[in-house]
Every structure is written in C-alpha cells, then in structure tokens.
Homo-oligomer: A and B are copies of this chain.
Amino acid sequence: MLRSNDDPRALRSRAAALAAATELLVEGGPENVTHATVAKRAGIGRATVYRHWPDQQALLLDALAGDVRPLLSFDDSPVRDQLVFQAEQLAHRLNQPSAVSILATVIQRAERDEEARRLREEMFGQADEDLTRALAAAVERGELRPGTQGHARDLVARIIGPLLFERFLHGVHLEKDLVVSLVDAALAPWLPNA
C-alpha cells in the first residue's frame, strides 16, 4: 500500500492523524473518532486517513496504543520506595483528564477485540514479572518475609485497584498520601517483624 514507513510525508500525516484521533477520543468518546473527523481535525485529506487505516477499529487502536505504554516497571532498589514511586507515577497519569477516557476505551474494546486485549495486557503484564523479581531480591535482603515474591500480582491489585476505583467511579483527584497509605497497607502482611 504505502511505499515505506520512512517517507517523511507519510510519517507526518500519520502522526497528525493519530494526534487528532486521541484528541477526538478524549473530547467525544470512541464513536467520535471517524475517518472524516480525524481528517478534518488533522488538516489532512479524508482519503489519506483511509489509506493508512482501512478500517476505523485499526485507527482507534493505533491511537490508543500511543497513549498506553506500560504503566509500571520495577528494578532491585528497596521495594517500598519503588512501589510508592511507581504508584505515584501511575496516579499522576490517571489524574490526567484523558486517562479515564483512554483506559475505559481499552477495557471496553478488550471484551470483543483481540488487539485491544493485547494492548490491555501490555499495561500491566510486564509489571508482574518485574515486581516478582524485585520482591525476590527484597526477600534476599531481608526486607520482606519469604514467600512474598509469589504475590506480586496481588500486591499490584491491592495498590492499583483502589486507585482505579477512586478515579474511575468517584472521579476524584488521586493524592500522594492515599498512594502511600495503600502501599503500606498492601505491604504490611509481608513485613518481617509482623
């Protein structure tokens, strides 16, 4: 279809279209992202949008993919600090007005769309493995009780879950003290002196 991915003209119109698609998604929901609206907003031809994305699903998912990079990542520094930092980063991103629209769209599409499901898993899939490793290292260092490394996913759920609940279902702004309190509560059962 297109000669290549490296033609500056193609890259330019593609980038403009994706930026426009994200804007339109946040402003009016997924059904607001059509070939016509994207073309108009991006200042490019309607046919050009069809050339890049023959169907609307692909266009929307490409736009989503640009905004949904992995949300968490861990290394081997002290676990509590990492969790607080990462959860704060995530809270900051969730506080963006666009985040709810984008995440809710991914979740909704994932029910019926394989590509969206892949995208959804990309968000937290890596986090489980990384955190498992980080927890194992922490157990070695005596920061946590043995066995903790088997509960990485559970920890993530107990920290991120309440954040999502507050943000998605109550629409509140996520504050730092909530994040800290959630991390400590989730970690409490695994502290060695317990």
Q: Which of A's residues lie within 8 Å of B, judged by CB? A: 27-31, 97, 100-101, 104-105, 107-112, 117, 120, 123-124, 153, 156-158, 160-166, 168-171, 182, 185, 188-189
In the bound complex, do residue B109 and residue A29 qualify as a contact, i.e. CB atoms below 8 Å apart? yes
Give the contacting residue for A169; candidates B101, B123, B171, B188; CB below 8 A.
Answer: B123
Query: Chain A binding site: helix, strand, loop or mixed by DSSP?
Result: helix
Give every chain B residue within 8 A of A162 (Cβ-Cβ). 157-158, 161-162
| Chain multiplicity (copies) | 2
The 5 closest A-B pairs by CB, nearest first: A161-B161, A161-B162, A161-B165, A104-B108, A157-B162
Q: A101-B108, A104-B111 are in contact. List 17 more A-B contacts (CB 8 A).
A: A27-B112, A29-B109, A29-B111, A29-B112, A30-B108, A104-B107, A120-B169, A156-B165, A157-B162, A160-B161, A160-B165, A161-B162, A161-B166, A162-B162, A185-B185, A185-B189, A188-B188
Partner of A100, one of B100, B107, B182, B188: B107
Q: Which residue of B lies closest to A128 (CB)?
A: B170
B189 touches A108 (CB 8 A): no
Q: Would you list 20 pairs from A and B whose C-beta atoms are within 8 A, ordered by A residue?
A: A27-B112, A28-B112, A29-B30, A29-B108, A29-B111, A29-B112, A97-B111, A100-B107, A123-B169, A124-B170, A153-B170, A158-B185, A160-B161, A160-B165, A161-B161, A161-B162, A161-B165, A164-B164, A164-B165, A164-B169
Q: Do B108 and A108 have beta carbons less than 8 Å apart?
A: yes
Complex Cα gap A110–B168 (Å)? 9
- Residues of chain B within 8 A of A170, CB atoms compared: 124, 153
For the complex formed, measure the closest distance between the CB of A72 and the CB atoms of chain B, giving whole angstroms. 12
